Amino acid sequence: MLLKNIKDFTFNRRYMEDIKKQIEEIKLTLETWEHAYYVLDKPIVDDLVYDNKLKELKTLEEKYPEYITSDSPTQRVGGQVSEKFEKYNHKYPMLSLDNAFNQDDLYDFDKSIKKQLEKDNFSYFVEPKIDGLSISLIYEKGKFSKAVTRGNGLQGEDVTFNVKTIRSVPLRINDTSDYFEVRGEVFLSKKEFERINEERKLSNEDLFANPRNAAAGTIRQLNPTIVASRRLDVFLYYYLNRDKYTKHSESLSYISSLGFKVNDLGKHCKSIEDVIEHINYIENQRYNLQYEIDGAVVKVDEFKFYDKIGYTSKFPKWATAYKYPAEIKVTKLLNIFASVGRTGKITYNAILSPVSLAGTTVQAATLHNAEYIFNKKIKVGSNVKVKKAGDIIPEVLEVIEDELYNTLETYKKIEYCPACDSKLEIFNDEVDQYCINFNCERKIIKSLEHFVSRGAMNIDGMSIKIIEKLYANKIIKNVIDIYNFKKHKSKILELDNMGEKSFNNLLEAIEKSKTNDADKLLFGLGIRYVGSKTAKLLLERFKDVKNLLNATKEEIESIYEVGPKVAQSIIDWSSIQENVDLINELQIVGVNINFSKNQSNDNVNISKKSFVITGTLSKPRPYFVDLIESFGGKVISAISKKTDYLLAGEEAGSKLEKAKSLQVNIISEEDFFKMLEG
């Protein structure tokens, strides 16, 4: 009996050792694949292969939880939602950099260093200045331990769980030092920035002004799951354990060998002339890069000179940041026009003579409101300086007060709605003007367009042109009229381009929209500050629209991520009897006002299917990526035999030919939306 127990113990021990070894081997494989994909940008396996291997690891860890470690790829989004970020005192201060704005500043920087060293036997290292958020990563005995923001330089915030979601941050490294610290810049790629803003636009949320703001806002999100969805990235540029290496360039090679993402535009320079040449080279590449930069960083390469060159209380004297000037062009402001949105807000816009700016042709710019125009002294017909704010949004900087300018009339703000001619109002201390006419045609049309949009009630086929036509013919004047569509069949069939088939298709889409979950309806109502995500949060708590409209401000504010502005907006909306009547009428005609969200998109027939997207589609690529992923599908970059579908727009090119040769299913945009409807 004793011998049997010993044998059983030995077998179990060996079995568990084999399991542990298997888990470690899978982790190593996944780390290798992640490094190739997220750091080297050279994927070596298809997404499906990676997902299956990750699933295999999850299954083993669930069965043998004693082998789950913090450095496992399964633990990247394992943090809980936080109420706040803890403060952390930096072991070494995170100093900022002094700035240089022209070549003279760079020569002065060079002279200062030579004066300190009394010799010329030093060199420089030049690298792009990433427009993001400074971060410090700390590892203990080879394992990722902590991530901290710069803060005030002496004390930052612990954002470990958020940074852990960044795929290019290794969770373990082949350096088992007791303490290992490396610093860099968290950023958002231009592609991801566009994707996020497209998503926010569909959800009626405020857009991020530029990638830096988006990255900074994301890293301070209290929910790591939201951070993970934003797909942040990071470049590392400073290794603090300097005793191992004599030069900054050598230390970068070392941290790169450990799996950290290091920018490939960095270059060793022997003289200040070489520095200036490389700074100019980086600037010429600026608009071709997949990430935003706002300058270049110049550092003395040799570590041994750092202490002698010295520091100020704010920055090291051995480094400087050369700031690229924003590209500014002069063009003519041809006209100013005002438009009204669905909330009644008036936006002033400039029409510009076309000008090439930051890699794109700019023909228009927002002027925000009348106060902006007055403060800038903008006149129609004047020459103006234009730049892209954050290299994204066209902005009129200033007018050129030349001889022409003095002959032009001062612009006068409009006092009446450009659509309905109603007197405009300004609320409280706001500077924006509003049309408050409930019967304003343009407001109604824009509200109807929002109501039927994909993010809201998703009434397929009811375009803005059709809405305008139906409104002009007094068939649809408000939301409830959409659901009385059938009553006007004979009148509708008399309209241009509206035959029996078109009528039936629209009727079918309208009937189908009645079964939407209530968050789509709530978002479609266009209540100020209530985007699609907020609508879900609200109805997860109140279960149906009527319960929400009967709630108190305090009850609404008690919901996580719902603030006083949202709560007050809902109270204001529900205090209008016409709005309450609208909900009752919608319920009578059969529109669902209940929230059932245990719903899942897994039933849709694209769940777990892989897609490649190519060619020009009706909306930006991020729109389709988000849609596919929201229904459980995957978007991959390369065609293979295992690809389920190629979503092909116009001018599809080589991917279309490869899909044909591999007999991959090729679908159009129309086919794609039919699949979703299925």
Query: Catalytic residues, which ones?
Result: 129
Q: Which two tokens mark 202?
A: 């569909």
- Would you say 49 is a known binding-site residue? yes
Torsion of CA 522, 527, 532, 536, to 10 degrees: -50
Radius of gyration of the chain (CA): 29
What letter represents residue 293's amino acid?
I
Q: Is the Cβ–Cβ distance between 210 and 633 less than 8 Å? A: no
Rounded CA gap, 223 and 206, in Å? 19
Q: Which two tokens mark 400?
A: 């050129």
- Would you say 50 is a known binding-site residue? yes
Q: Is the Cβ–Cβ distance between 440 and 417 less than 8 Å? A: yes
Find tokens 């795929």 and name the residue.
Answer: 167
Q: Is the Cβ–Cβ distance between 237 and 263 less than 8 Å? A: yes
DSSP state of 603: G
Query: Strand, helix or coil at 134?
Result: strand
DSSP per-residue string spanning 471-509? HHTTS-SSHHHHTTGGGGHHHHHTSTT--HHHHHHHHHH
Provide the 10 A C-beta neighbour count for residue 91: 11
CA distances from 84 to 80, 87, 485 (A): 11, 9, 50
Alpha helices in 413-488 (DSSP H): 441-452, 464-472, 479-482
- Would you say 465 is a known binding-site residue? no
Identify any residues that bridge with 331 across adjacent strands, giving them in sequence order: 384
- Would you say 269 is a known binding-site residue? no
- Would you say 348 is a known binding-site residue? no
DSSP per-residue string spanning 329-370? EEEEEEEEEEEE-TT-BEEEEEEEEEEEETTEEEEEEEEESH
Closest-CA residue to 67 (of 20, 16, 15, 11) = 20
- Would you say 97 is a known binding-site residue? yes
* φ, ψ for residue 651, nearest 5 deg: 55, 50
- Would you say 558 is a known binding-site residue? no
Query: Strand, helix or coil at 560?
Result: coil
Q: Residues annotated as binding site for NAD(+)?
A: 47-51, 96-97, 127, 150, 185, 299, 323
Q: Residues annotated as binding site for Zn(2+)?
A: 417, 420, 435, 440
Q: Residues annotated as binding site?
A: 47-51, 96-97, 127, 150, 185, 299, 323, 417, 420, 435, 440
